[in-house]
C-alpha cells in the first residue's frame, strides 16, 4: 500500500533541485579548480596506462590488473559528474542523487578490486610454486564479478535511501560533490572498505611470506610462466604500497562523517586528498619497466625523424656553402 506514495515522491524529487549543505564558509573556487584538475589528471593518466598495456603485445597484465585500474577510472568519472554545476545555486536533484550514490559505491568497487587483484597475485604465486599451473577460469570469474556486485548493492542502497530522504541529498559545503548529509551511507561504505582493506593486508602478508619461504623456487620460474599468469614481484610491491594510500583517505572521510558542522574548508582538503588517489595509482603502476620502455621508445621514434632532418639540413648547408661564398 505504501509503494505508490513512495514512487510519487521519487518522481517528484527527480524533477526538483537540491540545496547546498549548510556551511560556515562559502566554497573556495581555487580549491574546486585544484580538485577538478586532479580528477582530469588521474583520469587521463589511467587511460594512457590502460591503452598502452592493452595495445602493446609485449606488455602482459592480469585481468584483475585491468579491473583494478578501471575501478579508479570509474572513481574519476563519479567525482566529475557535478563538473559545470559546482557553482550553480541549486543543482538538479537527479544529477546530485546519482553522484551521491556513486560517491558511496565506487570506493567499495576500488577496495574490492584491490582485494581481488591481491588475491589473484597470491593464488597465482602459490599455483606456480606448486606445479607451475595457472588459475582456473572460475576463480578469475569470481574475482572479476565480486567487486562490481558489492558496488551495485551499495549503489542501490544509496539510491533508495536518497529517494526516501530527499532532504538529505545536498551539495557539500565545499561545492565539489553531492552527498547524503546524514552520513549513514558513508558509514556503510566505510565498514565495507575497512573489511576489504584488512583482508588485503592479510593476503599481502601471506603472499610475502610465501615468497620469502620459496624465494629460490620463485627465482627459477621462467619469465614466460610469470607473464602468462600476470605475476610480477614489482607489481606485488606496487600494489602493497598503493594499498596504504586509501587508508589515509578513508580515515579522513570517516572523521568528516562524524563532524557536527559542515566546514567547507575541511571538506575541500579531504576531497582533494582523496581525488589524488587515481593520479597516484597512475604514477605508481606506470613506473613499471616495460611501460616506461614503450613510452620512451615512442618518444625516441618521434624525435629521430626531426634529428635526421636536422642532420640532413646541416649536411646540405655544409655542401652548398662553398658555392654561396
296 vs 264, which has greater pLDDT? 296
- Residue with the three cell numbers 607473464: 227
* 298 part of a folded domain: no
Residue pLDDT, tens place only, 34-49? 999 999 999 999 999 9
pTM value is 0.80
What is the Cα–Cα distance from 307 to 265, expressed in whole angstroms?
51
Please give the C-alpha separations between residue 57 and each of 60, 86, 291, in angstroms, as whole numbers. Answer: 7, 42, 11
User: In this structure, how many other beta carbons lie within 10 angstroms of the beta carbon of residue 310?
Assistant: 10
* 98 part of a folded domain: yes
* 305 part of a folded domain: no
* 309 part of a folded domain: no
| Nearest partner of 79 among 14, 175, 188, judged by Cα | 175
| Nearest partner of 33 among 275, 261, 283, judged by Cα | 275
Element (H, E) at 170: strand 169-171
* 174 part of a folded domain: yes
* 114 part of a folded domain: yes
Is residue 51 within 8 A of residue 292, CB to CB? The reply is no
For the chain, the domain total comes to: 1
pLDDT for position 238: 80
* 133 part of a folded domain: yes
Containing structural domain, residue 216: 3-287
Is residue 163 within 8 A of residue 9, CB to CB? The reply is yes
CATH of the domain at 107: 1.20.1070.10
pLDDT band at 124 (very low <50, low <70, confident <90, very high): confident
25 vs 2, which has greater pLDDT? 25
* 306 part of a folded domain: no
Counting residues of the chain whose pLDDT is more than 90, the rounded percentage is: 33
What is the Cα–Cα distance from 241 to 253, expressed in whole angstroms?
20
pLDDT band at 302 (very low <50, low <70, confident <90, very high): low
What is the Cα–Cα distance from 224 to 237, expressed in whole angstroms?
20
pLDDT for position 90: 77
Q: Show the cell assigned to 80.
A: 566529475
Residue pLDDT, tens place only, 229-245? 556 667 777 877 777 77
Amino acid at each position: 500500500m505504501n509503494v505508490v506514495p513512495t514512487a510519487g515522491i521519487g518522481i517528484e524529487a527527480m524533477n526538483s533541485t537540491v540545496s547546498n549543505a549548510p556551511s560556515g564558509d562559502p566554497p573556495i573556487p581555487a580549491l574546486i579548480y585544484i580538485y577538478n584538475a586532479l580528477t582530469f589528471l588521474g583520469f587521463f593518466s589511467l587511460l594512457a596506462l590502460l591503452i598502452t598495456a592493452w595495445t602493446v603485445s609485449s606488455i602482459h597484465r592480469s585481468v584483475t590488473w585491468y579491473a583494478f585500474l578501471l575501478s579508479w577510472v570509474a572513481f574519476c568519472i563519479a567525482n566529475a559528474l557535478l563538473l559545470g554545476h559546482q557553482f550553480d545555486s541549486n543543482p538538479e536533484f537527479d544529477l546530485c542523487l546519482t553522484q551521491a550514490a556513486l560517491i558511496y559505491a565506487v570506493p567499495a568497487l576500488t577496495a574490492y578490486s584491490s582485494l581481488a587483484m591481491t588475491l589473484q597475485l597470491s593464488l597465482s604465486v602459490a599455483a606456480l610454486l606448486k606445479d607451475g599451473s595457472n588459475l582456473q577460469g572460475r576463480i578469475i570469474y569470481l574475482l572479476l564479478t565480486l567487486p562490481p556486485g558489492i558496488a551495485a548493492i551499495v549503489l542501490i542502497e544509496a539510491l533508495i535511501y536518497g529517494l526516501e530522504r530527499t532532504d538529505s541529498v545536498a551539495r557539500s559545503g565545499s561545492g565539489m560533490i553531492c552527498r547524503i548529509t546524514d552520513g549513514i551511507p558513508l558509514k556503510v561504505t566505510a565498514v565495507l572498505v575497512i573489511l576489504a582493506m584488512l583482508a588485503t593486508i592479510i593476503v599481502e602478508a601471506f603472499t610475502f611470506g610465501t615468497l620469502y619461504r620459496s624465494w629460490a623456487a620463485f627465482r627459477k620460474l621462467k619469465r614466460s610462466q610469470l607473464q602468462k599468469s600476470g605475476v610480477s614481484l614489482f607489481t606485488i610491491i606496487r600494489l602493497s604500497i598503493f594499498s596504504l594510500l586509501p587508508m589515509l583517505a578513508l580515515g579522513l572521510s570517516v572523521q568528516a562523517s562524524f563532524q557536527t558542522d559542515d566546514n567547507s574548508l575541511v571538506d575541500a582538503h579531504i576531497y582533494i586528498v582523496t581525488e589524488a588517489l587515481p593520479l597516484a595509482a597512475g604514477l605508481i603502476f606506470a613506473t613499471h619497466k616495460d611501460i616506461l620502455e614503450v613510452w620512451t621508445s615512442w618518444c625516441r621514434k618521434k624525435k629521430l625523424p626531426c634529428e635526421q632532418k636536422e642532420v640532413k639540413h646541416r649536411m646540405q648547408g655544409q655542401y652548398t656553402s662553398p658555392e654561396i661564398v
